[in-house]
């Protein structure tokens, strides 16, 4: 084995220790926790019905790149389309002055449950009060069909305030686990 082979091999096995926190709501938010008024007048949330894979990848990559989201990048177009175009999956896009600012993906494929599968803002829109607004909008929407629970997970790679934001919106932690994962930056370089 040459030094070059050894360096490539070392890069491929580097891992990150990631703590994943699972949170849930077993009932709709109480008074005072429901959807607040929009923090500005130029906001609109729209469901992207059967979003084209290219548009979904734009949302996913734009929101997730700073937080090393990689799982959906590993899916082929057909695999990804089967998820995001499923009638039980909603991709709700937040627009600010006509520009995509973030999204909230609600997954109802498991009976009785709604998973807030992906949620976040584009980097240019972080820090403007839009995250809490979109989250509460998504929670209200998630409870519309009357599920037994709404759940989400976050991890130590997410925005530093992600856990705090979910808890302040009414989610309660029910499980925490730590694991080593292949460094997503290495996976994406291959």
Q: HSE, CB side, 13 Å, CA atoms: give it for residue 3.
A: 0
Give the model's pLDDT for residue 181: 79
Of 127, 125, 71, 134, the C-alpha closest to 106 is 134
- Phi, psi (degrees; rounded to nearest 5) at 168: -65, -20
Comparison of pLDDT for 178 and 13, the residue scoring more? 178
Residue 22 pLDDT grade (very low, low, confident, very high; cuts 50, 70, 90): very high
Position 102 pLDDT exceeds 70 = yes
Position 63 pLDDT exceeds 50 = yes
Position 190 pLDDT exceeds 60 = no
80/89 Cα distance (integer angstroms): 12
Give the model's pLDDT for residue 155: 94
Position 178 pLDDT exceeds 90 = yes
Contact 179, 24 (CB under 8 A): no
Position 5 pLDDT exceeds 50 = no
CATH fold of 18-189, please?
Aminopeptidase (3.40.630)
Give the model's pLDDT for residue 10: 46
DSSP string, 74-94: GS-HHHHHHHHTSTTEEEEEE
Give the model's pLDDT for residue 4: 46
């Amino acid at each position: 084995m040459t030094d070059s082979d050894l360096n490539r091999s070392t890069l491929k096995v580097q891992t990150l220790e990631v703590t994943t926190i699972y949170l849930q709501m077993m009932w709709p938010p109480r008074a005072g926790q429901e959807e607040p008024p929009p923090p500005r007048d130029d906001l609109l949330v729209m469901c992207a019905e059967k979003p084209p894979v290219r548009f979904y990848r734009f949302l996913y990559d734009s929101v997730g790149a700073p937080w090393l989201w990689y799982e959906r990048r590993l899916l082929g177009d057909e695999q990804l389309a089967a998820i995001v175009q499923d009638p039980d999956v909603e991709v709700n896009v937040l627009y600010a002055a006509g520009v995509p600012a973030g999204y909230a993906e609600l997954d109802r494929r498991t009976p009785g449950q709604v998973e807030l599968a992906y949620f976040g803002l584009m980097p240019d829109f972080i820090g403007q009060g839009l995250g809490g607004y979109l989250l509460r909008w998504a929670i209200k929407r998630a409870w519309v069909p009357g599920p037994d629970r709404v759940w989400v997970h976050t991890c130590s790679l997410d925005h530093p305030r992600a856990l705090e934001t979910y808890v302040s919106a009414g989610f309660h932690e029910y499980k925490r686990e730590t694991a080593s994962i292949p460094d997503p930056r290495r996976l994406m370089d291959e």
